[in-house]
Structure 1
Amino acid sequence: MAVALSAAGVLLVGCASTDNDTSSPGGDSTASAALTGMVNPQSDPGPAVAGGTLTYGVQVLAATLDPTKTAARGGSGGEALAAVYDVLVSYDTTSGDFQPKLAKSLETNDGGTTWTLKLRDGVTFSDGTPVDANAVVASIHRYNAGKGNGAELWVASVTSMDAVDASTAVFHLNAPWMRFPSMLALGHGMIVAPSSQQGDKFTAIGAGPFTEDLFTPSVERVFKANPAYYGGAPKLEKLRMVALNGPQANLESLNSGQLDVAYIRGLTSAINSAKSAGYPGYMDVLNAGSAEIINNREGRPGSDVRVRQAIGYALDPELIDQRAENGEGLPGSELFGKTSQWHVDTPGIAYDSAKAKELLTQAKADGYNGKLNYIVLSEPKDHAIGLAVQSLLQAVGFEVNLILANNAGDIVQNVYVKNDFDLAHAGIGLYESIPDLGLFSTTNSTSKSNTAGYANPAMDQLIAELQQTKDNASALAVISKIQTLWNETVPSAPVGGLSSFWAWQKNVHGVVPTATGIMLFDQAWMGAK
């Protein structure tokens, strides 16, 4: 890996696949069709045109623009945050590099233990105050105090940060971390102006290409161009985000011309239709994006490792994919699938119904009644997955009570907030750009985002070792060990990757994807239809 990010140098973290690839690492044609990268590339559009409102169909509208309360993830709030705050560092999805954006450079000269951030000259927040090192340090302190997404990993890794002068901030880590720049591509790198917080009142003030204009809950968020943006005034007059009723609705609204950009998440038939229709856009795969989350906590069936193992062995990802996606999805029990740069030769737990029955019999002999309360979203694809999982588990001796949640909010409350479940269909969600953060958040025993409640000192140690690896080869070796331990202890059970396609009209240009599928619109513009 290189050791510096600047206008001329970047940090290489791996080579991402592109749509020009003809085969997947495993030679699977279905996986090949879902490789990460740009789709239906556009020809030279000529000079950029100013003006117009671009309407973007997202999965979920951000309820707040406070980065401590909205996770920076594509399609569910990340774009709104990036529009207002920009990011210190961006992720090049083609090369796998991290590059300076709001920052001028980010460098390490001691193998990743100390990182020096340089800021651009003359950049101001939308309220006219300077974006200086003190503001950066204060914003990150605020983010950690507010327990923003990834704050636990930051606090566990960064011993101190100092504003050396107006344009320089230095971060001191307790161990080498060559993928540290990934943290500044998300919430930590979305710098909130000091004037944003006035008592209990928060106002979204950043240095991004847009400012907040209008918010109608459950309807739309509208942003207007920031003429003082350091990268030049955006070409778009306004950026409008709306949340429709899922990926099929987004596709239909794209087809009818009501959307300029559509986020089509997790529905392969809709993704393939959009690609076949010739829409340009960006394709991404969320590793372990489809998974059965097992509650490992005391008093739950999953507190017995034999029960967790039985669930893992009982699930057949290929059959589940047939029921849910007509065999068009990305089935697999591994943490990082075949389309991933982090894919290893160590396979996930294999389907073995006989082994599942044996383990379940052992657990029942010690008093377990075989019952599972299983929560699934009442949506066609998820419901189909739920029925397939229920039948597979019952075939080996479980008694599964399928509980259908009316909406995603019910899933969030019962599974993520209250932890009131035995088994739930959701996703582990390991993004290509942030493997360290993904594994720490979902699996580390101290993480508040560890929905399964899994705690294993050996896994904690392996995740720490992964964080300290110097290059991709070393990282893959540790991921192989993580996969082996995962198979033995089954924190939860992945059943497949989750494909997403950000499709846009052919007159839309300059949309740039970055980490976790966040689309950047600072250079976007629309030509004549």
Structure 2
Amino acid sequence: MKRRDTFGLGTAALLAAQFGSRIPLASARGEGGTFVFGTAGDPVGLDPAVVTDGQSLRFADQIFDTLITFNGSSTDLKPSLAKSWDVSADGLTYTMKLRSGVRFHDGTAFDATAVKWNFDRWGDPKNKNHVGGDFEYYTDVAAWPDVISSVDVVDDLTVRFNLKASQGPFLLNMALGSFSIFSPASFELDPENAKRKPVGTGPYKFVEWVPGDKVVMEANTDYWGEVSNVDQVVVRTIPDNSARFLALKAGSIDMMDGVNPDDVATAKADRGIGILLRPPLNVAYINFNQTKKPFNDVRIRQAFSVGINRQAIVDALYGGRGVVANQMIPDYMLGFNTELKGFTYDVAAAKKLLADAGFPNGFTTEFWYMPVSRPYYPNPKQIAEAFAAELKKIGITAELKTKDWGAYLKSARENEFPVFMLGWGGDNGDTDNFLFTFFGTDGGGNTWKNDEARKLLVKAQQSADNQERDTLYRQVNALIEKEVPRLPIAHTKVPLLARAYVKGYLPSPVGAEKFTMVWLDK
């Protein structure tokens, strides 16, 4: 077996250890009970192949398994449904041995045919089961239509992937929740409702989804891996961050994400609440739609980049857990370009750029912000208001708008907004997962048509030499700074809060925690 060597992975693992927990991880282990997790919004859907948001993919980690998975609180890989794998010398053939005796929640057997069925569903637009969404992770994030030639069933427990071109992060991509294995039998019973009837092999079985209220899962007592310590998991939707914190203090939920920075300070003084920090494998950004004027003019985008005091906003609104992002990747990742200067706040320079672009008196634009808090934007409305105040100083009037989270993501993908806030939490610790996802295809709200950048990104993706990849990504980052297709805002150490009786939770840099680790010391 050939093992990839990467810069970013070991660093991410170290970060996971560095940003640890105030919650003790060891005492007399309790079993049973219901674990209630509070979050800001509903999932968009529960079919992992066709969703892109962290709210939805959280459930993939509970209900499903991937062939390969991440090892605890790191981005190192370990076997999951595939117990081992071999890679050919040319990197074009991956042969995986599958775990025996695994069953889907509907009682049907997991085998190589089920694996092929899923990959055929994701990758073949003519497949009758290629329904439910755009398969954006398969198409744009992993870029597998250009990589995977075919998937062969060798025998019941052996599957072979034949590639058109080598892909450096192929195994890392295989661990993404979007590539969870769905029961073919259950899917084919009701394809159109798969997003509401998820059936996998994972440690939890889906029970119900009450939109706007909760998703309920029960422990899979026949799970092939680590069986859950709790009997049931309930993920409650509480849109308002402050209301969610009050629910935690009252004990009606056991743990929460989407924490207001001010509430972290309050939690520090409460011995009944523990604080955990997720490592900063993320980026908040402003995206410019270059198909809409005036954002097709690089001078307008550059005016935003120097006309917003990002440091002041991060200092005021991130509670000491954010750092200004000068590139679209954190500074410890492969390809971070230390020779770039970043964007220096300069109101006069911003006004001159606007004047040179034909807007000496500025202009008015819609400015869209997210309706839910996410790790990279802890309070999006408040941050949007701060952006608007900064833009007003250089003559731009930002008319703030938002809409329902699912509709917001759809509009962002379909290039309906002129300028909008969004962000990204890394899926696997590899730079490809950031830069290729953002700029390698026409999907995902990317309107930057830069052939040089795309060629560099494809070359980096196909290389197994990390020195070469580092050089290529540095060149891409230089092009991004010059043309500003998206303006990076912040990288965030993401707080999570839990009642002190919640034990065992280890935040993952990629947010891929299975709740099986949790137990309640009540």
TM-score, normalization: structure 1?
0.84
- Counterpart contact for 1:317–1:331, Cα < 8 Å: yes
Shift of 1:349: 3.1
Q: Is 1:242–2:233 an aligned residue pair?
A: no
1:316 maps to which of 287, 309, 316: 309
Shift of 1:341: 6.6
| Residue of structure 2 equivalent to 1:400 | 397
Shift of 1:201: 4.5
Shift of 1:280: 5.2
| Residue of structure 1 equivalent to 2:209 | 215
Partners of 2:202 and 2:504 in 1: CA distance: 16
1:406-463 Cα shifts (integer Å, max 9, x gaps): 654564354344x33322222255456253233223222x3321x1422211111122
Partners of 1:142 and 1:334 in 2: CA distance: 36
| Residue of structure 2 equivalent to 1:3 | 2
Partners of 1:136 and 1:513 in 2: CA distance: 29
Unaligned runs of 5+ residues in structure 2 are 124-129, 373-377
Shift of 1:511: 3.6
| Residue of structure 2 equivalent to 1:307 | 300
- Counterpart contact for 2:60–2:180, Cα < 8 Å: yes
Partners of 1:190 and 1:136 in 2: CA distance: 10
What are the within-5 Å matches in structure 2 for residues 82-481 of structure 1?
82-92=61-71, 94-110=73-89, 112-144=91-123, 145-146=130-131, 147-152=134-139, 153-197=143-187, 198-199=189-190, 200-202=192-194, 203-231=197-225, 233-265=227-259, 267-274=260-267, 277=270, 279=274, 281-289=276-284, 291-297=285-291, 299-325=292-318, 329-338=322-331, 343-347=336-340, 348-364=342-358, 370-377=363-370, 381-396=379-394, 398-405=395-402, 407-408=404-405, 411-412=408-409, 414-417=411-414, 419-431=415-427, 433-444=429-440, 446-449=441-444, 451-481=445-475
Match of 2:49, SS state, is: coil
Shift of 1:362: 2.0
Shift of 1:471: 5.0
Unaligned runs of 5+ residues in structure 1 are 22-33
| Residue of structure 1 equivalent to 2:42 | 61
Match of 2:490, SS state, is: strand
Letter in 2 for 1:96: T
Letter in 1 for 2:2: V
Match of 2:280, SS state, is: strand
Letter in 1 for 2:308: L
Partners of 2:459 and 2:366 in 1: CA distance: 35
Partners of 2:509 and 2:175 in 1: CA distance: 7
- Counterpart contact for 2:39–2:235, Cα < 8 Å: yes
Partners of 1:250 and 1:361 in 2: CA distance: 45
Partners of 2:37 and 2:65 in 1: CA distance: 18
2:11 maps to which of 5, 16, 22: 16
Match of 2:303, SS state, is: helix
Partners of 2:428 and 2:59 in 1: CA distance: 21
| Residue of structure 1 equivalent to 2:502 | 508
Shift of 1:60: 2.4
| Residue of structure 2 equivalent to 1:489 | 483
Residues 437 and 178 (structure 1), Cα distance of their counterparts in 2 relative to 1, 3 Å cut: same
1:363-419 Cα shifts (integer Å, max 9, x gaps): 108x997443222357894344333323433433x43232232654564354344x3
Match of 1:519, SS state, is: coil
| Residue of structure 2 equivalent to 1:25 | none
Match of 1:302, SS state, is: coil
Residues 364 and 56 (structure 1), Cα distance of their counterparts in 2 relative to 1, 3 Å cut: same
- Counterpart contact for 2:73–2:507, Cα < 8 Å: no
Letter in 2 for 1:166: D
- Counterpart contact for 1:308–1:491, Cα < 8 Å: yes
Residues 308 and 238 (structure 1), Cα distance of their counterparts in 2 relative to 1, 3 Å cut: same
Partners of 2:361 and 2:85 in 1: CA distance: 54
Match of 2:48, SS state, is: coil
TM-score, normalization: structure 2?
0.85
Residues 279 and 440 (structure 1), Cα distance of their counterparts in 2 relative to 1, 3 Å cut: same
Shift of 1:130: 1.5
How many residue pairs get aligned? The number is 499
Partners of 2:256 and 2:175 in 1: CA distance: 23
- Counterpart contact for 2:75–2:509, Cα < 8 Å: no
Shift of 1:136: 0.8
Partners of 2:241 and 2:72 in 1: CA distance: 22
Shift of 1:220: 0.8
Shift of 1:64: 3.0
Residues 87 and 507 (structure 1), Cα distance of their counterparts in 2 relative to 1, 3 Å cut: farther
Shift of 1:63: 4.3
- Counterpart contact for 1:90–1:514, Cα < 8 Å: no
Partners of 2:508 and 2:17 in 1: CA distance: 16
- Counterpart contact for 1:40–1:279, Cα < 8 Å: yes
Match of 2:173, SS state, is: helix
Match of 2:201, SS state, is: coil
Shift of 1:272: 4.9
Letter in 2 for 1:79: R
Match of 2:274, SS state, is: coil
